[in-house]
């Protein structure tokens, strides 16, 4: 068993810390947010991630995980994972300052011959700045990008498609891969630069795929094709694949928008501009606009003072994360066009945004609304019975941007039903 330190107890750091503890390692997780640390010490998690709180409490009881704010507590760790934010800078590039700040403090305290692991998503060649800032010849730097998806983070940790480890010293890379105790996952051992690029390439390609599918949905609508059938036929081609090809209101979240922009800038700076990336970003903006325009058209080209009920605020189901959520972008645009926007999300209960009223429940959200717009694919929205809500609405109109509802069922109940691309 190894002694592992984790710096940054957010979505990635907390999940990794808890899962490493579950694998039997001794883990200390660190955060600069003292309130968060106290909450975690008491066994409660500040985010919604299925199964994570139970696993945390089990490992607190087994004394396999501890939470601290003092960086010096990591001085006897064999491995220290960096899981701090790498947000977007004003120009769209990734901001490395949180990473380098953490590295500066670790430089003085890391155990001799320990390994520093970068799990944060960092721009290509960041490992060189990390090495320079760390200034410790005895400590190897392993780039080990994280691919977990919020909402299925635990399962993704234990069943990854691959474990990527990049290092100058292959022995250190393999040691880090072995911490995951996973015989099934393929280990991709490479240099640091390639490991860093794998993460950006993956997220950017996924965003590109979604932009393509969203544009296809728009075309389907205009030529009266059914995007659901088109994608079924398209995805069955094994070279394309059936995963991650569902149209929606636009892509968002804490990773795709910043990672696509960062790779776009990296490609330009390195004289290899990837024009598909600018197109991917532009296409996503077009999708958001298309959804808002469609709502306006449905409501006779006038949104002023009309109550719109939005189902979902999180950027996808099974998370409470609203960072760069397309639902929020759409809500704000509707409000800017004069609509009264009321939203209900099973997990997002507070939001500092004067343009959006948060309803306490579904009933409050939909009552007297002119249209219901489903924006996040929460499974509970599939169970809404159109019969029982009909009398609460001003108009029986619904727009399902995720194509998760059964059209016939809603139409049988007298609803005017709009899907996305069909």
Residues serving a catalytic function are 255
When computed from its CA atoms, the radius of gyration of the chain, rounded to whole angstroms, is 23
Cα–Cα distance for residue pair 371/380, rounded to 1 Å: 19
Cα–Cα distance for residue pair 44/9, rounded to 1 Å: 13
Task: By CB under 6 A, tell whether 148 contacts ligand NAD.
Answer: yes
Min dist. Cβ of residue 131 to ligand NAD (A): 18
Among residues 40, 79, 80, 85, the one that binds ligand NAD under rule CB under 6 A: 85
Min dist. Cβ of residue 9 to ligand NAD (A): 5
Q: Choose between 312 and 386: whose C-beta lies nearer to ligand NAD.
A: 312
Q: Choose between 119 and 306: whose C-beta lies nearer to ligand NAD.
A: 119
Task: By CB under 6 A, tell whether 215 contacts ligand NAD.
Answer: no
Per the structure block, which two tokens stand in for 70?
A: 């003092």
Cα–Cα distance for residue pair 102/84, rounded to 1 Å: 8
Min dist. Cβ of residue 152 to ligand NAD (A): 10
Min dist. Cβ of residue 82 to ligand NAD (A): 8
Q: Choose between 322 and 334: whose C-beta lies nearer to ligand NAD.
A: 322
Contact 106, 8 (CB under 8 A): no
Whose structure tokens read 């790779």?
Answer: 263
Min dist. Cβ of residue 10 to ligand NAD (A): 2
Task: By CB under 6 A, tell whether 250 contacts ligand NAD.
Answer: no
Q: What residues from 348 to 367 belong to the interface with ligand NAD (CB under 6 A)?
A: none
Choose the stretch contacting ligand NAD; rule: CB under 6 A; options: 84-92, 108-116, 131-139, 235-243: 84-92
Of the candidates 129, 76, 98, the one whose C-alpha atom is nearest the C-alpha of residue 31 is: 98
Cα–Cα distance for residue pair 283/209, rounded to 1 Å: 11
Min dist. Cβ of residue 191 to ligand NAD (A): 20
Task: By CB under 6 A, tell whether 254 contacts ligand NAD.
Answer: yes
Backbone angles phi, psi at 421, to 5 degrees: 85, 20
Burial of 310: CB neighbours in 10 Å, binned 0-12, 13-18, 19+: buried
Cα–Cα distance for residue pair 117/371, rounded to 1 Å: 49
Cβ-based neighbours of 99, under 8 Å, separated by 6 or more: 82, 84, 86, 118, 120, 122, 126, 130
Choose the stretch contacting ligand NAD; rule: CB under 6 A; options: 26-34, 106-114, 232-240, 399-407: 26-34
Q: Choose between 150 and 345: whose C-beta lies nearer to ligand NAD.
A: 150
CB atoms within 10 A of CB 285: 12
Q: Give the count of residues interacting with ligand NAD (CB under 6 A).
A: 26
Contact 248, 290 (CB under 8 A): no
Among residues 5, 8, 249, 250, the one that binds ligand NAD under rule CB under 6 A: 8
Among residues 26, 131, 140, 146, the one that binds ligand NAD under rule CB under 6 A: 146
Min dist. Cβ of residue 374 to ligand NAD (A): 23
Choose the stretch contacting ligand NAD; rule: CB under 6 A; options: 7-15, 173-181, 269-277, 403-411: 7-15
Task: By CB under 6 A, tell whether 30 contacts ligand NAD.
Answer: yes
What is the chain's length? Answer: 422
Of the candidates 246, 292, 316, the one whose C-alpha atom is nearest the C-alpha of residue 399 is: 292
Alpha-carbon distance values, 166 to 75, 113, 121, 135, 196 (Å): 24, 17, 13, 19, 8
Per the structure block, which two tokens stand in for 270?
A: 């390195």
Task: By CB under 6 A, tell whether 13 contacts ligand NAD.
Answer: yes
Task: By CB under 6 A, tell whether 150 contacts ligand NAD.
Answer: yes
Burial of 142: CB neighbours in 10 Å, binned 0-12, 13-18, 19+: buried
Among residues 59, 114, 118, 121, the one that binds ligand NAD under rule CB under 6 A: 121
Residue whose beta carbon is closest to ligand NAD:
10
Task: By CB under 6 A, tell whether 144 contacts ligand NAD.
Answer: no
Task: By CB under 6 A, tell whether 83 contacts ligand NAD.
Answer: yes
State the residues that interact with ligand NAD by CB under 6 A: 7-13, 30-33, 36, 83-86, 98, 101-102, 120-121, 146, 148, 150, 254-255
């Amino acid at each position: 068993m190894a002694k592992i330190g984790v710096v940054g107890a957010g979505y990635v750091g907390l999940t990794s810390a808890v899962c490493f503890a579950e694998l039997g390692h001794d883990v200390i997780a660190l955060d600069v947010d003292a309130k968060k640390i106290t909450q975690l010490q008491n066994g409660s998690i500040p985010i919604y991630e299925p199964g994570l709180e139970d696993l945390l409490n089990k490992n607190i009881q087994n004394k396999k995980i501890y939470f601290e704010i003092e960086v010096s507590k990591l001085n006897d760790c064999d491995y220290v994972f960096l899981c701090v934010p790498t947000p977007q800078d004003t120009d769209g590039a990734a901001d490395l300052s949180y990473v380098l700040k953490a590295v500066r403090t670790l430089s003085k305290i890391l155990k001799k011959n320990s390994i520093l692991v970068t799990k944060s998503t960092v721009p290509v060649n960041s490992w060189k700045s990390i090495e320079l800032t760390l200034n410790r010849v005895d400590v190897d730097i392993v780039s080990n990008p994280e691919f977990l998806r919020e909402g299925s983070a635990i399962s993704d940790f234990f069943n990854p498609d691959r474990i990527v480890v990049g290092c100058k010293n292959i022995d250190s890379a393999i040691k880090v891969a072995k911490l995951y105790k996973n015989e099934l996952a393929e280990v991709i051992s490479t240099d640091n630069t390639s490991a860093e690029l794998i993460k950006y390439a993956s997220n950017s390609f996924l965003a590109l795929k979604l932009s393509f599918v969203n544009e296809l949905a728009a075309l389907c609508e205009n030529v009266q094709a059914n995007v659901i059938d088109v994608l079924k036929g398209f995805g069955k081609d094994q070279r394309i694949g059936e995963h991650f090809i569902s149209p929606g209101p636009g892509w968002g979240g804490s990773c795709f928008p910043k990672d696509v922009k960062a790779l776009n800038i990296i490609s330009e700076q390195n004289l290899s501009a990837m024009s598909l990336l600018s197109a991917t970003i532009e296409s996503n903006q077009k999708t958001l606009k298309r959804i808002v325009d469609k709502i306006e058209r449905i409501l006779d080209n006038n949104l002023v003072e009309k109550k719109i009920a939005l189902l979902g605020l999180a950027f996808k189901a099974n998370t409470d994360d609203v960072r760069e959520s397309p639902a929020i972008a759409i809500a704000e645009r509707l409000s800017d066009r004069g609509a009264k926007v009321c939203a209900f999300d099973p997990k997002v209960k507070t939001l500092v945004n004067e343009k959006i009223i948060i309803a306490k429940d579904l009933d409050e959200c939909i009552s007297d609304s002119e249209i219901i717009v489903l924006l996040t694919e929460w499974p509970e929205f599939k169970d809404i019975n159109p019969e029982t809500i009909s009398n609460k609405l001003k108009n029986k109109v619904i727009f399902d941007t995720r194509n998760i509802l059964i059209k016939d069922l809603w139409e049988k109940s007298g609803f005017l039903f709009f899907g996305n691309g069909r």
